[in-house]
Structure formats: structure tokens, C-alpha cells
Chain A
Amino acid sequence: MELQAVLMAAGGGSRMMELTYNTHKPLLPVGNKPLIWYPLNLLERVGFEEVIIITTKDVQKMLTPDRLKLDGKMKLDVVCIQLEGEMGTADALRHVQQKIKTDVLVLSCDLITDVALHEVVDLFRAHNASMAMLMSKLHEFTETVPGQKGKKKAGEQRDFVGVDATGQRLLFMANEADLEDGLTIRKSIMCKHPSMRIRTGLLDAHLYCLKRCVVDFLVENKNISSIRGELIPYLVRKQFSKSVNLPNNKDEVEMSQKMEGQTNLGSCKDEELLRLTQERSCWNDHHGDMSEAYHGGKVRCYVHIMEDGVCYRVNTLAAYIEANRMAPKLIEDPPIHPSAVISECTQVGADSIIGASCQISDKTSIKRSTVGASSTVREKVKITNSILMNGVTVEEGCNIQGSVICSNAVIGRNADIKYCLVGSSQRIEPDGECLTVTQNAVSV
């Protein structure tokens, strides 16, 4: 086993409380599948046979193979942690360190992507990297988001990512918020990598390949609590520190010892050969001089940047809606579940998904929408650009547009709902009309 997969599924979804109020984030339906299905499917597609899922007790109860609709070949090793809010991703990884025997692939449960995973892993392998990660071009969300008037606020702080001329080596990483005094790059880095590309507008997919020794390093440094927030920036910076370190910088010494000590951690013979090949080979990774490959750096970070393809992190409402829109393209199942009952005089667009045991009555049109399992849609209903979760009942003559209707809600007759978010088990009165609805939905 070369890589162990660790799936982080304990996050609370604090950036989209509207949706996670009743449903746990890993179980939010996207294209009628729970969100966690997507990363699991990604792993399964490339042949992972076992995955460690770190999650909370509540979610564990719901995680039945039946629900996940996986082929069942993959063994799920669910580890529960408590107090989701207080534990960072690095803490979680530390929590399962006993189970980790090899390098790890860490990913988040809210990742929906069609990336060829081997691209990232190949980078990791080819350069014997300490860390390889996935990034993607940031997608602009064009659709109107329910409950949000006007255009979304001027974006969050941008991330600045510096890569070398090949676009793969990760040289620099900082958030705009930390760069008030301007962007500073050490000259020694520029000497080693004379052409640096600073990119903004990238989405960190939160998918990391980490060397075993990095996990060991985490175990020893308990003050690092977040992978994205602390560990990765630390690794990126450490790439350019000298292996000869100041004695007072304990972390660094340990780190480099770890990096050197990796020969002890397993395949001793291979590492020895590797060292020999590097010594004997005249190959190096740069132009301009004959110094050894990677300038002798022990820590190396790489990034694979997806220029096209689908990559979403479902951590906001806007991303959730967008992901639902994309879902039909990612799922191979027929869009209309065989057990759904759809009467003949109904228009269901090819870009819509109808869940199991749905009942769709006459003269109804459903376009670019998702209808969850066991939902009932009566006559003369028009649903466009909307997401209906499980068990929703829509009475006659309703018009639903650009909205999200959470589980078990009931929409009364002739209701007109535009760009709304209707909370779970809410009732919209007949003839109601709502244009903006806040958390847990109100009707007029």
C-alpha cells in the first residue's frame, strides 16, 4: 500500500449554516447523493481499498454503505472525534496517527472534482516530495444565491500562490491579509527559481499528499492544529531553509532530521538506492548551473493546478448550488431513478435529477433542478434552477425558481417561490409568495 487515504468529514459547515442546521455537512444531498460520496467515489475510482474517515458520532450513524451507494469494495474505517469545533484538521490527523503506516492522502469531505488523481500523486512520486497538493482555477458563481440580495460581497482575501516556471513547484504562499506591507520574496529563492509566477484566483482543493515523516513531525509538534492554515505554509517556507540549522530552532532541526531519517522508516534499501541515483545522476531540476537536483533541499512542495475540469469545495451556499448544477455531469447513474413515478405529460429536462420513489404528476415541468428521494410534486408545478431535498411535497400550481427547499418541507398550493431558501419541515401557506427567505425560511 503506497498511500493511505484520510477523509476529513468532521467539519461543521460553518459557512453555510442555513443548510447544515438540520443536516450534517457530509450528508448534504448533492445530485441526490450525500456530499461525502464524491470524495469517496474519487478514491474508489483510482483504486483505494481502504479509507480512514474522521467524523463525528452523529455522522457515523448515518454512514451506511447503503446510503453511500458505493460498490462496497472499499473498506471504510470510521474514526469518531468529539467536539468538532475545537479540533483542527492537523489535530484530527494526529488523532489517527497509529493507523498511519505510509504516506497519506488527506482530503476533505466537501471536495467535488473530476481531477485525475494520479496527476497529484505522480508529482508526489516523481519528486519524492514532502507534500503535493491540488489547486484549481477559482470558479465564478454566476447564479443568484437565495437569501443574498444583489451580487455577492467583494470576494474574500485572495491567496497568492507562487509557482516556478514549470508551474508545479510550490515556492510561495500567502494570503492577501498578511501582505499589507507588500509581497516579500527572499533573493535566494529568486536565484534558485529565477522565473516565478505569482497566481491569484486559485482554489485550494484541500487535497494533500503528505510524506509519512510529515505526519511524524505533526505528532511531535502539537501546536500545529490546522493543515491548511499552519502546516502547509510552514512546509512551503521550510523548503528554502538550509539543512544546517541554528541550534535554537528546534523545529527545523527535528524536521531535517526527520527528512534525513526517513531512510529508517521502512524501505531502507530503496532509499539507499535513491540516494545513490541522485548522486550518480547528472540530472537536476533546473537550468543554469550544475548544482545538485533541488539545490539539495530536503523539503519539497508541489502543486497540481487544474486549468480546466470540475473542482468545487462545497463550503458555501453558492458553491452548493453550483455543485448541484454540475452533479448530473459527474454521476453516471441515470438521472431519473427507476423507482420514481413520473406521469407522461411531464417535462423533465435532461439536466435534472429525480430521486428514488418520487411522484411527479401531470403538466409539470422540471428544468435544471434536483428533486430528492420520496418527494411529491403535484400538477402544474414549474421547477427551474432549484434544489429540492428529500421528502419535499410541492402542491399544485407552484412556481419554484432558483431556490433551495430543504427536506420534508411542504409548499402550499399556488405558492410562488423565487430565489428562496426554505428550511426543513417548513410549510409554505397556499398562495404564498416569497422572494427572499432567510434562515429556516419564512413565508408570506
Chain B
Amino acid sequence: MNMAAKTAKQGRPGARRAAVDQDEEEQPLQAVLVADSFNRRFFPVTKDQPRALLPLANVAMIDYTLEFLTSTGVQETFVFCCWMSDKIKDHLAKSKWCRSNSSNTVHFITSDTYRSLGDVLRDVDAKALLRSDFILVYGDVVSSIDVTQALQEHRLRRKLEKNISDNIVVAVDSKSKRILHYQKTQGLKKLQFPMNIFHSTSDEFEIRHDLLDCHISICSPQVAELFTDNFDYQTRNDFVRGILVNEEILGNQIHLHVAKDGYGARVSNLFMYDAVSSDMIRRWIYPITPESNFVDEEGKSCTHSRHNVYRGTGVSLGHGSQMEENVLIGQDTSIGAKGHISNSVIGANCIIGDNVILDRAYIWNNVHIADNVAIRQSVVCDGVEVKTGVILKEQCVLAFNAVVGPDVTLPEGTVVSLHHPDEEEEEQDEFLSDHAEAGHNKATKKDKANNSKELGTEGQGYIWKSSSLDHTKEDELAQSLWGLVLNPDPESDSESEASEGSDQPGSRTISPELDDIKVFQTEVQGTLQRGLEENIGCDNLVLEINSLKYAYNITLKEVMQILTRVVLEYPFFQEGADLSTSQYNTLLLPLLKGWAPVFKNYVKRAQDHLNCLASIEEFFLEHEAHWGALVLMSAYNLDILEEDGIMRWFSQEGTTDKSKLLRKNQGLLKFIQWLEEAEEYSEGD
């Protein structure tokens, strides 16, 4: 899938537009190749080699990108490098792109200050390098798509086109191929589309969830200007979002071209690396194939035989070794006896021992693999030594020059590098570009003590552990070297089903208000407990409860009800539910005494007294056994409740049998009698 991009200011006078069109035909087609990913997906592999130079099927990734650009007809390419720019320069200087007969002129622009795609494009604008529409790609794009059609469409339209990336949903106006909405779905259960995108004149919209963004953009020169104008745009996603949001105001548009055939992908993580490599060997990217040696370099040529087995020159194969299918072996590599190799890529000058099993293994150059080794779906970088009897489980990475073994098994997802995982933090300031997001990866921890156990007695290197669990919220993608884990999430389905069920007749969920009250209650309880433990003054408790009250939007009446309930429940909370009445009372009374000022703060008016009593009644209706006048009496003695209130409450006939029963309690009757007598006494006095 591929796309083109360009913006056009719509209010532009027609005359000038014509002039621009004319210009274009004379202008050579230009491209901007960003040879830096500005992220750390391939870390720590990229610590020694920039991503653009990592070999894919024994050819550096940037060569694929340049081949794609050249075959599209690009005549001038600006390569922007940052991390390890010298290596990239050296590589390209030796390659066919810099020979005098190359149809594609390559210019280098290096700066250590680039930290994002946005920086690069702002620099493009500042240097005024581009005269017309240009193609924007990353140095890790592998593609055989003919973008000329998209280019033509784009010129016709003079509008902006863009493409869609993995895990992205777009709403597209199906008639004009305009992108209206663009969204990554990672971690989303439901997809929301704002209504305003449907307000256009068209009556047909397409929502696609099956497109892969191959990160090829055709941009008009204004794109660079826009990046300058909006200094907060860092990535292409920022840009696309910004354009779409401001579309109505600025009149810039993004369009998309869905390539029906051809191949295009960006090697954005190891999962993609695995996928693109195997596609390459299976010849899906034709005409770019391993044996075509399009880079035209010595020693890269190889022969192609049945079952997609490719062999470079000087390959030696031991007796009884099987190359089952889809295998690429670089020159001067020797393989021992009785090996079993399938779906793998082996670089140049490797030495592989006997009885070796390789499946979906990507072995780069100058690697030594001893006897009896098994490697499955893993990447082994240059200069690595794997001693005898080592087993690599799925998704392991051995970075440059690491040594593993003998006789160890590396569990799934192990990453071994000679670099200390903590180094990066010390040197953080020096890290740029590929390491720009260094802050994200602090979770990687070294585990030096266990190294000899895990890597074997002769092992060299550190195991990198990324505790991605802590980071799931931030950016799942950045964490895992191997990219997404595609496991279906059955739970999410049923959950959303349940939520949908609620709009069915008959099933109503509880209103969220109640939940607030629940939360408030637990908060109050926590506050009181802390008050008790830390001996916090009642004034401060009142303050805290008040702030909670506002946080959860609780009325004063409810505060009092909840407070009463919490306090009365507190003995149960402290000592468990099965307390005898006397135990309960002895626990409760000091509490009441301690918190009396808190109560007094909330129980002021006559109505408050009644409410408070009602809450007490409600509580004791649930805990009848513990009912006694003692609570009321102590509340009266502590001046929390007043006589009038109690009398009025008592005179209110209970509405249910139970509450009537409650009022007939012996102790209560005595207390009431005492109150009455005291009243008479004081009157008589």
C-alpha cells in the first residue's frame, strides 16, 4: 500500500497554479530519505549500527529504499543522517548510488541536532532544498510499488495525500479518496468517529482496518513549510492529525492511494524484519530478489535453486546437511554436517558447526556457531559467537559481538548485548536521534550477577530485560523489540457485549452516582483510620472530608449519613463482624468521643439531628443485636445530639415493624424516660 501526499492552498490564484505545474515538468523529481528512525525499537542492536544499515537478506535496508526511489524515477535524493552518520556516508560512498553514472544524485545532510522527523523537515524548509513535490521515505522502507500513478494522481489533484499505517483506522471519503480521519487502534476497544467528518457533501464513507502504512509520502513543498509553522509537529502522525483537525481552516487535505499490487512495507520492528525478510526470500518483492544483486556489489551475487534456496559464492555445505526451503546463504560461509536449515538468512563469512538446527533464524556476517546449536526465530548480529549446545528460543536477539554458551538455553525474548544496559542512562545526554527517546527505556535493567548462569561459562555480554509491564500505558510499541503480540482478546469482546446489553430492554445498570457515594464512603473510612493511626486533629479531618465532599460531589446531608455509618461500622472494621454487643459498645464509645468534634461540625441544625438519628436507626436496623440506648446516650453526653432531636425522633412512629420494635427497646425507653424527667426537673427548677 502506498500513498502520496501534498498540500495545496485552495485559494491560490489559477495563474500561479498553472505556472507551478509548468515548473514541475522541468523539475527533477526529488526525494527526502530520512536515514534515522528517531526511535529505539531496534535498541540495543542500533547502538553499533544505524537501522538503515542493518542487513535484510544480506543487503543494507537503505539500499532497498534507494533502489525503490531510483526505480520510481527520482533524480535527486537528500539523505538526512543523524545517528552514526559517518557509517551511513561510508556505506553509500562505496555503493552504486554514488557512482558517476547513477541516475539518482545522492546528497548528504548531517546534523546531530535532529531529534524527530519534524526537525528534518524544518531543516529542509530552512535550507530551501526542494523546489516541487517530493517523496518522503524512511531509510528502512522496502518497496516495489510503482508510485508513478500516485504521483500523477497527486499532480492532478494538487492536494495532500497520505497513507495509513499498521493498526490504523481511517475514514475515507470513497469518491475523492480524501482522508477524513486517521487513528491508531492499539488498545482501543471501540472506535469513535466524530460526527463532523460526516458533514461533508459526500454520502459514502469508507472505514478501513486492513491497510498497512508503508510510510511513503508524496508531499508538496508546503509540507515542509507547515512543519516550520507548527514547531510542535514531531512525527508524521502529529502532522497528519494536525492537518485533519485544521482542514477546514487551512484548506489542506490529505489523500490516499491504495496500491492493489506491488509490495511496500516499513521495517519498523523485528516482527516486520522477520516478515519482510521471509517475503524477500519467497520472492514476493519481485523484481527485487536476493539473486538479482541490484546493489551491484562484489560478493553479493548468489544462485537461485529450487525451493528458494540461494547460495553465494564459496559456500561449503557439510555432509548430510539439509537446506529445506527459503534459505539464503552469503558468500564464503561454511556449514557443518547434518545441519537442518529452513526459512533462514545466513550472512557472509559465517562458520556453522555440525548438527545445527536453524529455523527462521537471521544470522548476519562473521558469526561463529558451534555444534549442536538450535536457533528459532531469532536475530544473531555480526561477530557473535554461539558455543556448543546453545538453544535460542523464539524472539531472541544477540547483538554485535556477544558470546553465548556453552550449553545454555536462552528463554523466549532474551536480548543480549555487550553494552551495559545502564550505560545509556549515564550517557544520556550524548544520545541523539536513534536514542532520542532514551527516557522511555529506563526500565531495562542489568542483571550482572546471573550472567554467567544465563549466558554460559564463556558468555560475554549483558542480558537486557525490559520490564514492559510497567510501561504498558505509555507506549507499548516502543517497548518490545519484536513488536506487537497479536493475541486475540476474548475478554474485550464479552465486555463490550455486556455494555451493549445495557441498552437492551430490561437490563439497566446502576446509576453511576451510587458508585461515587461508595467511593466516598471508603475514602471517609480511610481518612478516619489514618486520623486514628497518625493522631490527626479533628479540624484537619473535617478539612479532608470537606475536600472529598467536593471531589465526589456529595451533598451535606449525604456526608452526614455516610459519616455516621462509617463511624458506627468502624468497630466491625477493626475487629471483624462477630462482636458481642458489649465488645461493640466498648470499642465504639472511645471512637465517638474522639470524633465528636467532627460530628459537631456537620450536625448543627435541628434537621441535621433528625438526619443523623435516621442514619443511626438505619444502621441498627441492619445490626439489631447491637442496638442499645448507649449509643444515643453517649452521643447526647458528648453534645453531638440534642435532647429535642432525640425526643422528636422518638415521637416519630417507626414506619416498619422493625423500627417500631427498635423504639420499644428497654434501654431506650429508660433513656427517654430519663430525658423527660430531666426536662421536667429543669423546668421545675
Contact = CB atoms under 8 A, between A and B. Distances in A.
A182 B192 contact: yes
Given A184-B193, A246-B494, A248-B507, A191 B209 contact: yes
B501 to A, nearest CB: 5
A181 B192 CA distance: 8
Interface in A226-255: 234, 237, 241-242, 244-246, 248-252
Contact of A197 (B169, B174, B194, B210): B174
Interface in B469-522: 492-494, 496-498, 500-501, 504-507
Contacts of B208: 194-196
Interface in A168-201: 176, 179-188, 190-191, 194-201
Contact of B207 (A176, A179, A185, A245): A185
Given A242-B493, A249-B507, A251-B506, A195 B192 contact: no
B497 A242 contact: yes
B189 interface: yes
A288 interface: yes
Question: Nearest 9 pairs between A and B by C-beta?
Answer: A194-B210, A201-B203, A190-B209, A194-B209, A198-B205, A183-B193, A196-B207, A182-B194, A200-B203
B207 A195 contact: yes
Given A183-B194, A197-B205, 4 more contacts: A183-B192, A183-B195, A196-B208, A221-B505
A246 B498 contact: yes
A166 to B, nearest CB: 13
A160 interface: yes
A184 to B, nearest CB: 5
Interface in A201-232: 201-202, 221, 223-224
B191 interface: yes
5 contacts: A185-B193, A190-B191, A194-B209, A195-B206, A245-B497
B193 A197 contact: no
Contacts of A181: 192
Question: Taking each of A179, A196, A248, A252, which has the highest tally of chain B beta carbons within 10 Å of its own beta carbon?
Answer: A196
Contacts of B209: 190-191, 194-196
B653 interface: no
Given A190-B207, A195-B209, A196-B206, A184 B192 contact: yes
A229 B194 CA distance: 24
A187 B206 contact: no
A265 to B, nearest CB: 24
Contacts of A182: 192-195
B573 interface: no
Contacts of B494: 242, 244, 246
B505 A190 contact: no
B472 to A, nearest CB: 17
B190 A186 contact: yes
Given A183-B193, A251-B506, A160 B493 contact: no
Interface string B181-202: 0000100111111110010000
A162 B204 CA distance: 10
A248 B507 CA distance: 8
Interface in B202-250: 203-210
Interface centre among B192, B204, B504, B507 (most CB of A within 10 A): B504
Nearest to A237: B500
Contact of B185 (A184, A190, A221, A242): A190
A237 B193 CA distance: 18
B261 to A, nearest CB: 15
A96 B439 CA distance: 70
A387 B492 CA distance: 58
A248 B174 CA distance: 41
B501 A187 contact: no
A197 B209 CA distance: 11
Given A160-B198, A195-B210, A198-B206, A186 B191 contact: yes
B205 to A, nearest CB: 4
Contacts of A224: 505
A187 B198 contact: no
Contacts of B500: 237, 241
Interface string A120-148: 00000000000000000000000000000
A186 B496 CA distance: 8
Which one of B192, B194, B209 has the highest number of Cβ atoms from chain A below 10 Å of its Cβ? B209
A187 B195 contact: no
A176 B203 CA distance: 13
Nearest to B204: A199
Nearest to B210: A194
B668 to A, nearest CB: 43
Interface in B425-442: none
Nearest to A179: B195
B463 interface: no
B493 A198 contact: no
A197 B191 contact: no
B507 A187 contact: no
A246 B501 contact: yes
Given A194-B208, A242-B494, A187 B203 contact: no
B32 interface: no
A126 to B, nearest CB: 24
B397 interface: no
A179 B193 CA distance: 10
Nearest to A249: B501
A187 B183 CA distance: 12
Contact of A187 (B174, B191, B194, B506): B191
Contacts of B497: 241-242, 245-246
Contact of B190 (A187, A195, A198, A246): A187
Contacts of A160: 198
B171 interface: yes
A386 B595 CA distance: 87
Contacts of A180: 195
Contacts of A188: 492-493, 496
Contacts of B206: 195-198
Interface centre among B169, B207, B507 (most CB of A within 10 A): B207
Contacts of B194: 182-183
A234 B500 CA distance: 11
A202 B492 CA distance: 32
Interface in A242-276: 242, 244-246, 248-252
B198 A200 contact: yes
Contacts of A183: 192-195, 198
Nearest to B500: A237
A234 B191 CA distance: 20
A197 B506 CA distance: 32
A184 B503 CA distance: 15
Contacts of B507: 248-249
A280 B205 CA distance: 37
Contacts of B198: 160, 183, 198, 200
A187 B207 contact: no
Contacts of A241: 497, 500
Contacts of A186: 189-191, 496
Contacts of A197: 174, 204-207
A354 B492 CA distance: 64
A190 to B, nearest CB: 4
Contacts of A162: 207
A252 B174 CA distance: 35
A251 B205 contact: no
Contacts of A242: 493-494, 497
A176 B196 CA distance: 11
Contacts of B190: 184-187
B210 A252 contact: no
A246 B493 CA distance: 12
Given A183-B193, A190-B209, A197-B174, A252 B501 contact: yes
A180 to B, nearest CB: 7
Contact of A198 (B189, B204, B504): B204
Contacts of B207: 162, 185, 190, 195-198
A188 B210 CA distance: 13
Contacts of B169: 190
A185 B190 CA distance: 6
